[in-house]
Structure 1
């Protein structure tokens, strides 16, 4: 699938125009890093008032996703759900792809469906454009610090060419394979993250019930096999009841659902059965049912506390 790079010149602020769509907690922090590095950004926001912080840093606001694309060589998206990605990128006349010139590149950082990523890649190639599915892990802290882990799917030469921009946002960028492979990697990542959040939630609740001081308990175990990146990112927040979102709990329902519902198209015996992921999805669904879908994923501990009568 490799092809000659349509942009042989290296990426610099003087020769590449960038578009950005999706300015929530994660997207705004990631876009800010590109602005700080000197790149010119054209942005789109369904709620224009939310664009004010980026506009104050020099971003230009466009009326539609297509208008962003018309002013950009590369368009990044960081949205909530696969249906958002489909609408923003593929909508006739107003979508990114409708406004993108030949050899333009779309980089989708949304946690989305692998099949949709592959569909968008095909649609882009029909216009002689390129797409990369590049979901991220690391939460709001990683987005602010530029220390995200990025999983990239698409054409390898395009991913390599994009690396100066991706490395402004992530400390680790891994090429996973063809279109959709970045998304498949993110789903597997979320399965592990969900299991770690559940284990940490239960560990903290048990420690308190057992009469342990939770900070002391966490310091005791963090250097052993129980330690994890999830503990580093969210342990203190969970103890403090700080559920400010980096990623919404409702997004974990989406991500875990894509894993739980995964079916290999070619052979039915390739269906993946994941009882742990199914349970974790149910618990996050419980958060949504309790009206807590907009809390951070670390809020999962609230479900375990409720189960235990707290």
Structure 2
């Protein structure tokens, strides 16, 4: 039996394979962050199959060497690792489940990694259904926005089995720097929701601080120079604060997607009997911002509510 035949038989048994540069990665979702992630994988020498709802959004990646596939099922069939980063939990369900979904079409022994911020319960459901087909599933949402995606410095929060995590680590190392296996399936999503809860209140503070500095007659840029390196320091302050001051509201992370994340976090907190007043206030403010036509702006557009 040739090497190809041996690997085919092993795959049918669901054996974990060591990921190499010869492995083919399928990538579904080439939005603000996904596009940069695909480009980093291409630059590292990986073969990448791509699919997104609007092919035009992937044309530059195809020019850079990515292979276009016409359907989700086609990506799953011809890839060893399938990564998804889509919009909402309903989109995750659509790409993973059903006759044309990833679970039904991925090869036994392959890996599926959902990097969308989604529901922990959905991550567990994907893991359990994948396991029945000898597919290894990880939930691995990320933080770091468009900047982290471009520079390959994303924080990656992972839930799933350690053996699968260890096998996929070479790929994670291309996409991020702070990569931690948090626990079993769903743990990555719970960690990301903790991250979003932290950011929710912090964004209000950043907006108020900049407006306060302006009202006090200070140069807000110089104020940031002082406070970003002290106890108030955060990604939101150092990376999004300058964008607020400059009036740059282009999306590194969409308002509408942050609303989705906060809604999931609030629902999850309520299920655990937790009170999260800071999260509730931030969600209320961002919904008001979206109602004013800013849902496709970056999250730093929140300062517009404080400039009235």
How would you bin the TM-score normalised by the shorter chain? over 0.9
Give, in whole Å, the separation in 2 of the partners of 1:40 and 1:213.
48
- The Cα of 1:7 is off from its aligned counterpart by 2.6
| Aligned 1:171-210 pairs, distance under 5 A | 171-210=177-216
Is structure 2 residue 7 aligned with structure 1 residue 7? no
- Name the structure 2 match of 1:297: 299
User: Is 1:5–1:157's contact at 8 Å kept on the other side of the alignment?
Assistant: no
Is structure 2 residue 165 aligned with structure 1 residue 165? no
TM-score by length of 1: 0.93
| Distance verdict in 2 for CA 1:264–1:297, change over 3 Å | closer
User: Is 2:269–2:275's contact at 8 Å kept on the other side of the alignment?
Assistant: no
Give, in whole Å, the separation in 2 of the partners of 1:5 and 1:152.
21
TM-score by length of 2: 0.93
- Unpaired runs of at least 5, structure 1: none
Give, in whole Å, the separation in 1 of the partners of 2:189 and 2:167.
20
Give, in whole Å, the separation in 1 of the partners of 2:306 and 2:100.
44
Give, in whole Å, the separation in 1 of the partners of 2:115 and 2:54.
20
Is structure 2 residue 252 aligned with structure 1 residue 243? no
Give, in whole Å, the separation in 1 of the partners of 2:299 and 2:270.
28
SS in 1 for 2:26: strand
- Name the structure 1 match of 2:69: 62
Give, in whole Å, the separation in 2 of the partners of 1:35 and 1:98.
27
SS in 1 for 2:268: coil
- Name the structure 2 match of 1:219: 225
- The Cα of 1:33 is off from its aligned counterpart by 0.5
- The Cα of 1:252 is off from its aligned counterpart by 1.1
User: Is 1:5–1:158's contact at 8 Å kept on the other side of the alignment?
Assistant: no
- The Cα of 1:225 is off from its aligned counterpart by 1.3
- The Cα of 1:261 is off from its aligned counterpart by 1.6
Of the structure 1 ranges 174-183 and 225-234, higher mean CA displacement relative to structure 2 is found in 225-234
- The Cα of 1:264 is off from its aligned counterpart by 7.1
Of the structure 1 ranges 16-25 and 253-262, higher mean CA displacement relative to structure 2 is found in 253-262
Runs of 4 or more above 4 Å deviation:
none
- Name the structure 2 match of 1:128: 134
Task: Name the Cα RMSD after superposition.
Answer: 1.4
Over residues 204-246 of structure 1, what are the superposed CA-to-partner deviations in whole Å (9 max), with x where a residue is unaligned? 0111111111111111222221121221211111100111111
Aligned residue pairs total 296
Give, in whole Å, the separation in 2 of the partners of 1:283 and 1:157.
42
- Unpaired runs of at least 5, structure 2: 1-12
